Chains A and B, each alone.
Chain A
């Protein structure tokens, strides 16, 4: 499927994250693709070893994305969930399955460039088999009017000896209201690395993210990093949970948040719990401004205070 009509405005925000738009368009690039415009599937391209199934429902889609056993994909699977409208409700129910011994990167992008009262809900289930390498990267763009209400919920199961890497980024444009709930269950010898980055830029921006990792298998390991900045009255709450429920499992939670300007609020709640005497779980959290020494170092290179802060935000949020 090529030359599809897909709102360029939705894809354009990819450029903000230095991602090539063409990679997402059917007929270009090598990876599998699924494009959604509001509640319509606008493009779907399978490749060998990847099964994509989608069914349109009233406000969105139900989709299956299956990476078959032993398949090692060189090119990412691209998913784009966009809405060009100002208002409405989009609901997505994806089920993502990586069968045993598979390797894949999924690059998902959610874009709502014109949102003034748009609701996006996603209920995802991930099943990652044994001995897999699974990388899930999700970028978001919610326009400039703080008009999106975004509420994704994900349940993620990571099989034995698998590596799961999750990167969620919402650092361009405004946030609107975001509430994310993510539960990751890690089985024996699995490794989880999860990084969440968000930037609330205006007083109408509110980010609430609760990411939980449950180390259920022996020797499971995890690092959960939550990084955020709140500016001009924006509000951020990062709630990072790690539970050690198996022998020799090891988890760490890190929350770093920067408050910029009066009225902005950052809250961090690293929460750790262990139910196994051989489990090891740790956390650290920091809130506030950037260390003065960092600012001085950048200013000694000729940057103003404002420029130095922007560089440090860029570095912290990996913009």
Chain B
């Protein structure tokens, strides 16, 4: 396993209550693993905590990366081990060129330009149009997200945490982003995908459902989706979406009904 969370609890800043409670799941190397759940379930909190942001310190539990305990490591140390995060709304740091920004995390400076060009191509940005552009207000939100993705890819990390990578994007470009995620996986990188959209999560091999700070299930994405819908009481929606996908034909209607009954009886 590349990433393991063991009983992770993250309190609020004033420590009066917990944002996530006793979360344990593992992420396989070279997979896409989604964390799904409604707004406020603790998905982003968990993502920031895995990245090591100081305001998201865990109070209990352990985070292991490739078997190494990283619980007390800071962001930079975790990044150097091969963990990175692409923010939902990356900061617009005016004054840096796209080249400079994408190359920030490249360790091998000898092939810097080549790596930046490759990363830009991976996210479907034409290098000749973007390399010398400044990261300023002339870039759209979609372009900015692609540049952020390129910057993480250029680092050649082992684990990329994507925090709501498609938030605010047009429907027509979302498909393109899903292809990009698969391309990242083909580059032998692992993705931890934070999303509250089931259509985005369909790209993942595995998923974990968070519900009000608790971990409900970690399994294949369709199975997690059924449980998500059952929690939300969306039976018809569940049948429509889960059965629609060709890759999810392993669940019949009876199975879904049983899961819903289980949830209702809780």
Contact = CB atoms under 8 A, between A and B. Distances in A.
Given A291-B91, A311-B96, A300 B75 contact: yes
A299 interface: yes
B94 A315 contact: yes
B80 A294 contact: no
Contact of B79 (A294, A299, A311): A299
Contacts of A49: none
Contacts of A292: 55
A302 B105 contact: yes
The 3 A-B pairs with the shortest beta carbon distances in the complex, nearest first, are: A301-B105, A315-B95, A302-B79
Nearest to B55: A292
B60 interface: no
Contact of A311 (B84, B94, B104, B107): B104
Interface string B159-183: 0000000000000000000000000
A312 interface: yes
Interface string B72-85: 00111001100011
Contacts of A299: 74-76, 79
Contacts of A304: 76
Contact of B91 (A293, A302, A314, A317): A293
Contacts of A314: 95-96
A288 interface: no
Contacts of A291: 91
A261 interface: no
Given A299-B76, A300-B85, 8 more contacts: A294-B93, A297-B87, A299-B79, A300-B75, A301-B79, A302-B79, A315-B95, A315-B96
A296 interface: yes
Interface residues of B, number: 23
A312 B75 CA distance: 17
A312 B90 CA distance: 14
A303 interface: yes
A297 B91 CA distance: 8
Interface of B: 51, 53, 55, 74-76, 79-80, 84-85, 87, 90-91, 93-96, 104-105, 107, 151-152, 155
Interface of A: 291-294, 296-305, 311-312, 314-318
B96 A296 contact: no
A294 B76 CA distance: 13
B91 A303 contact: no
Contact of B80 (A297, A302, A318): A302
A46 B75 CA distance: 56
Nearest to B83: A300
Nearest to B135: A315
A279 to B, nearest CB: 25
B91 A316 contact: no
A305 B87 CA distance: 18
A299 B84 CA distance: 9
A314 B91 CA distance: 15
Nearest to B84: A300
Contacts of B75: 296, 299-300
A315 B104 contact: no
Nearest to B104: A301
Contacts of B155: 301-302
Nearest to B75: A299
Contacts of B87: 293, 297
Given A296-B53, A296-B75, A311-B104, A301 B84 contact: yes
Nearest to B91: A294
Contacts of B95: 314-318
A77 B27 CA distance: 61
Contacts of B79: 299-303
Contacts of B53: 296
A6 to B, nearest CB: 32
Contacts of A311: 96, 104
A314 B100 CA distance: 11
Given A296-B53, A314-B95, A315-B96, A302 B107 contact: yes
Nearest to A318: B95
Given A297-B87, A311-B104, A302 B76 contact: yes
A312 to B, nearest CB: 7
A312 B135 CA distance: 12
B104 A303 contact: yes
Nearest to B103: A301
A248 B90 CA distance: 36
A317 B95 CA distance: 8
Given A303-B104, A318-B95, A297 B76 contact: no
A297 to B, nearest CB: 6
B91 A300 contact: no
A67 to B, nearest CB: 29
A311 B94 CA distance: 11
A310 B104 CA distance: 12
B76 A303 contact: yes
